[in-house]
């Protein structure tokens, strides 16, 4: 499966990279399952809960993931993104709560990052279309 769909997309760095891998596997015709009784422990530092790092990466990556999706029509993507923007600008995004000014600054940073990756998003969408099982 990994030979066919590739490894993790390194643009994500952290957060959403495994979800993207599962999406590509499904597009290529593989079944994806969740093992609810499997446990994997995290050893080491970790501990990004509530941090600016977590908020920024989760925010930018969810927009990147959405923009690269080939199954969600563009108008629906826009509605989803606008709903997320409203929450993110207020500091109530996926990665944790923050003061409103922080939310605005982090959202603007995520959107600027996303704008710099427009070509990458286009390439990912083409890759996803090529993976699709006919």
Cα–Cα distance for residue pair 67/92, rounded to 1 Å? 21
Q: Is 14 contained in some domain? A: no
pLDDT computed for residue 112 by the predictor: 97
- Is the pLDDT score of 100 beyond 80? yes
46: in domain: no
Across 117-124, average pLDDT: 96
In a domain, 112, yes or no: yes
Average of per-residue pLDDT values in the chain: 92
Q: Per the structure, how many domains does the chain have? A: 1
Q: Is 107 part of a structural domain of the chain?
A: yes
What does residue 58 show for φ and ψ, rounded to 5 degrees? -65, -40
Which H or E run includes 97?
A: strand 96-97
Q: Is 124 inside any structural domain?
A: yes
Residue 32 covered by a domain:
no
Pairs from 70-73 (Cβ < 8 Å, separation ≥ 24): 70/27, 70/125, 70/128, 70/129, 70/132
**Does residue 7 lie within any of the structural domains?**
no
What percentage of the chain carries pLDDT values higher than 90? 78
Burial of 20 (0-12, 13-18, 19+ CB in 10 A): buried
Range of the domain at 109: 52-134
Q: Within a domain: residue 64?
A: yes
Q: Is the dihedral of CA 24, 127, 69, 54 positive or negative?
A: positive
Flag whether pLDDT at 127 surpasses 70: yes
């Amino acid at each position: 499966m990994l030979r066919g769909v590739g490894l993790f997309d390194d643009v994500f760095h952290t957060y959403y990279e495994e979800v993207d891998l599962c999406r590509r596997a499904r597009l290529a015709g593989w079944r994806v399952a969740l093992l609810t009784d499997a446990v994997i422990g995290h050893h080491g530092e970790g501990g990004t809960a509530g941090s600016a790092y977590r908020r920024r990466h989760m925010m930018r990556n969810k927009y990147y993931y959405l923009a690269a999706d080939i199954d969600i029509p563009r108008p629906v993507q826009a509605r989803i993104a606008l709903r997320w923007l409203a929450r993110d600008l207020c500091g109530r995004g996926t990665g944790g709560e923050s003061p409103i000014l922080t939310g605005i600054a982090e959202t603007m940073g995520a959107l600027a990052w996303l704008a710099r990756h427009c070509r990458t998003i286009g390439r990912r969408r083409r890759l996803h279309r090529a993976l699709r099982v006919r």
